[in-house]
Amino acid sequence: MYTNKTILITGGTDGIGRSLVLQYLDLGANVVTCGRDQQKILALEAEAPIGKLCVLNADVSSERDCERSVSHAVKLFGGIDVLINNAGIAHIGNVLNTSEEDFQKIFQVNVKGAFNCMQAVIPFMEEMGQGLIINMASIAATIGIRDRFAYSMSKGAILSMTLSVAKDFIKKGIRCNCISPARVHTPFVDGFLDKHYPGKQQEMFEKLSASQPIGRMAEPEEVAQLAYYLCSKQASFITGTDVPIDGGFTRLNN
């Protein structure tokens, strides 16, 4: 299905993004991704089939970097069939203890990063007469989560942008959806626990896992599988939709 298809995935060297990259490589796709950590870039390249992966050192908050990444992908593989806006950063704090600097940083990466990539990619998809865009949102976009003010703001923007792009380009053959995970067990979670709960990592991990009705966190591969479905022909009737993958968190937490 994905042989000779080109997938552009932002933030593909870690966590959910890494699972996405490896999944599409296994499916035979050409994958272009970006990252900033050279060790993680090298580790990802070591797992990829020769000639199927291009990893760029790019910052999604930079309009120029996004345009360069898209142009490189088109030149290298002939086009972009799927864009997955996965790059993002987290922040802990409420409206009072979130600094202007932190608020701006979250906005630049999570919101402007997705904007930059969609603005750069959509003209090529219009030219092809088809395209798929998946934006990584969060359950924080639609429900209140304590001490996630700036992060929730950014994911709410992702949801709104998804709806707008889906409506504006549906006649151009472009589908746009977003995925809203609850907690996913990524290196970020482990790093957060190491930093804030030294000596109590396992206890806090179990507590965070139990906060989801299903009793555990999602695995990155499960989110990647949902993205795979949304990109498939079986999902060709789905656009302008926010799809939760949350272990019952949104509806079953009473």
Measuring CA to CA, how many Å separate 71 from each of 65, 66, 68? Answer: 10, 9, 5
Measuring CA to CA, how many Å separate 19 from each of 32, 49, 130, 196, 245? Answer: 14, 15, 25, 26, 16
Instruction: Identify the active-site residue in 2, 24, 151, 228.
Output: 151
Are 120 and 67 in contact by the 8 Å Cβ rule? The answer is yes
Is 197 marked active-site? no
Query: Which H or E element spans position 205?
Result: helix 201-210
Are 16 and 43 in contact by the 8 Å Cβ rule? The answer is no
Helix count and strand count (H, E) for the chain: 10, 7
Residue 38 φ then ψ, to 5°: -65, -35
Q: How far is 168 from 49, CA to CA, in rounded Å? A: 37
Q: Catalytic residues, which ones?
A: 151
